[in-house]
Amino acid sequence: MKAEFFQIWVFLAQSPLLWLTLTVLVYLGALALYRRSGLNPLVNPVLVSVAAIVTVLLLTRTPYPQYFEGAKFVHFLIGPATVALAIPLYNQLARLKRMAWPVGIALLSGCITAIVSAVGIGWLLGATPETLRSLAPKSSTMPIAMGVAERIGGLPSLAAVAVAVTGISGAIMARSLFNLLKIQDPAVRGFAVGVASHAIGTARALQVHEQAGAFSALAMALNGIATALLVPLLLALL
């Protein structure tokens, strides 16, 4: 029976649609669980989905390149999904113009803090220079972080892990932290999440409030540009 199941699995694993279907079904299941939990941040659908898919890959001994080859259409959709974030941002254009100076100051301080804190904590814990360069761009979106890490002598794969951990942890902790600090303005909450937790935080912000999602999308885009410009300069100073 075990041998027959293994043969069936080997056959199915050759189909490119298997991993795409599995990814979509796992995320839908994680999203349903998230909603049933009352949007508990500890049951973040991205975190649950990643854990579930990694478990399946380990149990089936499936190499990641094989999985990615089947599920890469999801990766392709990141581009259109990011562009679509311009719609809620456009709806908040009037308020954005009034907040241009606060937004600029918040972006600069948030970006510098993210870079310096990552490098500083890593240095205190004895991380190698290569690791520090990989951690520096952790609060930008994954494509930018990986590109920046590679250009400055870091490891793109480690940068990708740091970005994922940053985004998930930010999405989990943001609401409680904002409530603790008594920050209620959706625009402020959204912008802070976008600077600190990029796309994963933005997805969470969109679920909570349209205005929060719009400002989070703006912060994510601007912080990606700022990170690419500031990381080489700050590392040279540090």
pLDDT tens digits, one per residue of 145-162: 888 888 888 888 888 888
- Tokens 């991993």 locate to 19
pLDDT tens-digit series, residues 7-57: 555 555 566 677 888 888 888 898 898 888 887 777 888 888 888 988 988
pTM: 0.73
Kindly give the residue spans of alpha helices, DSSP state H, lying in 37-155. 45-60, 64-76, 78-84, 86-91, 93-98, 100-124, 129-135, 142-151
**End-to-end distance of the chain based on CA atoms, in angstroms?**
60
Query: How many whole angstroms separate alpha carbon 154 and alpha carbon 227?
Result: 15
Query: What is the DSSP-derived secondary structure letter of residue 185?
Result: -
Instruction: Locate 100 and state its tokens.
Output: 């241009």
Closest CA to 22 of 47, 54, 44: 54
Low-confidence ranges of the chain (pLDDT < 70): 1-16, 75-79, 81-86, 88-90, 238
